[in-house]
Amino acid sequence: MRNMPLFPTSLVGSYAQPDWLIDKSKLAGRFPPRTRAQELWRVPDLYLAEAKRDAVMLAVRDQLDAGLDIITDGEAGRESYSNHFATGLDGIDIHNPGTALDRSGEPVPVPRITGHIERRWSISVEEVRQLRQLTDNPIKFTVPGPFTMAQQAQNDYYADISDAAAAYALAVKAEMADLFDAGADIVQLDEPYMQARPEEAARYGVTALNTALEGATGVTCVHICFGYAALIHDRPANGYSFLPQLKDACCNQISIETAQSNLDCSVLQSIPDQTILLGVLDLSTHEVETPQMVVARVERALPYINKERVVLAPDCGLKYLPRDVSRRKLDAMVAGASLLRARHS
């Protein structure tokens, strides 16, 4: 991966999908689907694959036009951050879903584990190849983490859910290897359930995560958050319940949110080694930050982390925001990064 400027900029993962592609009225107010949700797409099946590719091109163009340094596919072809991968593995009965509690405590349909979890073939390598063709910038691709997938499943096969997480970890590890081979510079594992269920995460989450991460041939990142701001509005007053524990994760980067939560950034002292993707865009509001607000959110972290270890990013994915709002927030973030470089170079 080429050398990055000071205070590089990146999406966490998702970008606002076009209204012609996905029915946002069906997406609004529901947690990201764990099982397949074909009803979200506005485009007929015959044209859906082409429409998804076109949406990726739009997402990449918006990122490049805004001046982002690291580019994702915006997860433009996905129904959610996790279900494309979690429902593509052997050992999952996709026709008879199970039930599990979501982060709000409500029961939702989830993949049902009925056999040994295994990845028979790559699930996302073609998306990485497409993304690689669209830009010379470093590219990042996201995969759901093994702990979160285990939490988002009904286990009808393994003796303990930790065994399911270990099997998911091996599937993720194999997928990551193929994604790096296809041209990904960074692969990010999304682990929001580590924050939601810290006791279980402490019991087996980091072990499963490290199984997936060990031996990676490119840059690895772990994203941990409080959930999509459009769906989970409150942030805990005491900050993260599971963040210092990630110092033991063998990843290169950790992605956190600080903007909406007004996080006490002194917690960054507990993560002394990894690069931090610092969330500087509040996704709970359509109000667009000024570049000066972005600067202030970064500078409140700098007493606790070396500037060379900071990447600017939104708090989380932009999936639930309108595209015009998302684009203007990216413009503000990039402008803020330019101000920071002038001030701290």
Residue 232 reports pLDDT greater than 60: no
Is 93 exposed, middle or buried, given 0-12, 13-18 or 19+ CB atoms closer than 10 A? middle
Is 44 exposed, middle or buried, given 0-12, 13-18 or 19+ CB atoms closer than 10 A? exposed
pLDDT for res 250: 95
Residue 238 reports pLDDT greater than 70: no
Q: Which of 23-27, 67-71, 290-294 has the lowest mean pLDDT?
A: 23-27
pLDDT for res 228: 55
Question: What is the tens place of the pLDDT at every residue in 158-182?
Answer: 999 999 999 999 999 999 999 999 9
- Terminal-to-terminal C-alpha distance of the chain: 22
Considering the four listed CATH numbers 2.60.210.10, 1.10.540.10, 3.30.1330.60, 3.20.20.210, the one that applies to the domain covering 24-344 is 3.20.20.210
pLDDT for res 103: 75
CA atoms within 13 A on the CB side of 279: 29
Would you say 255 and 222 are in contact if contact means Cβ atoms under 8 Å apart? yes
Strands 107-118 and 154-155: parallel
Q: What is the pTM of this model?
A: 0.95
Between CA 12 and CA 312 the distance in angstroms is 9
pLDDT more than 70, % of the chain: 96
- Distant-in-sequence, close-in-space partners of 330: CB < 8 Å, separation ≥ 6: 9, 11, 62, 63, 66, 68
CA separation, residue 161 to residues 113, 203, 217, 260 (Å): 10, 11, 28, 32
CA separation, residue 197 to residues 47, 50, 191, 258 (Å): 40, 38, 11, 19
CA separation, residue 3 to residues 58, 253, 269, 326 (Å): 26, 16, 25, 26
Strands 310-314 and 186-190: unpaired
Count how many residues are written for the chain.
345
Would you say 332 and 290 are in contact if contact means Cβ atoms under 8 Å apart? yes
Residue 253 reports pLDDT greater than 60: yes
Residue 237 reports pLDDT greater than 70: no
In this structure, the dihedral spanned by the alpha carbons of residues 234, 239, 244 and 246, taken in order and rounded to 10 degrees, is 20
| Domain map (residue ranges) of the chain | 24-344
Q: Which of 327, 242, 317 is nearest to 277 (CA)?
A: 317
**Residues facing residue 257 across a β-bridge:** 279
Question: What is the tens place of the pLDDT at every residue in 303-344?
Answer: 999 999 999 999 999 999 999 999 999 999 999 999 999 999
**Residues facing residue 100 across a β-bridge:** 108
Write phi, then psi, for 287 (nearest 5 degrees): -65, 130
pLDDT for res 230: 47
Token pair recorded at residue 47? 């044209």
